[in-house]
Amino acid sequence: MKPEEIDILIKYRLEQARAALDDAKYLFDGNRSPQSIVNRSYYAMFYAALALLQKISKVPSKHSGVISLFDKEFVMKGIFAKDLSKDFHKAFELRQTIDYKIIKPITQDRAKEIWNKAGYFLQDIERYLLGLPR
């Protein structure tokens, strides 16, 4: 893939991430389902991670592969803080539990916490990709 095509794909993934985060806020502000807020927040993180991995031309096909590669290529090398990885893992696990297992419902406060962490995650990745101080 040509560098300009990679840049276009990175920009597209960041737009997807921003839209998912905006969707989560809209749902939260409308007092909608905490499960939906978590879903959109997780996807904001996922799309941001895809943008980051596109930068190094390594994009796995599974969600768990994206998380693993994010950890290996960026967290273990000290580029991003371990807390970002923990937040990404927690959002993934919570989304999986909500979507595929029977659990007690989560609260709006818990959904807001995930949304806030997703916002920080996206912001940190955007700043990195734009070469801005973090």
Query: Domain extents for the chain?
Result: 3-129
- In terms of Cα–Cα distance, which of 60, 47, 53 is closest to 20? 47
For the chain, the average pLDDT equals 95
Q: Within 13 A of 99's CA, how many CA atoms are on the CB side?
A: 12
Q: What percent of the chain lies above the pLDDT cut of 70?
A: 100
- Entry pTM: 0.95
pLDDT at residue number 80: 97
pLDDT at residue number 1: 83
Question: What is Dmax (Cα atoms) for the chain?
Answer: 48
In which element (H, E) is residue 100 found?
helix 82-100
Superfamily of domain 3-129: Nucleotidyltransferases  domain 2 (1.20.120.330)
Q: Round to whole Å and give the CA distance between 77 and 11.
A: 24
Q: Report, as an integer, the average pLDDT of 33-37.
A: 95
Q: Report, as an integer, the average pLDDT of 20-28.
A: 98
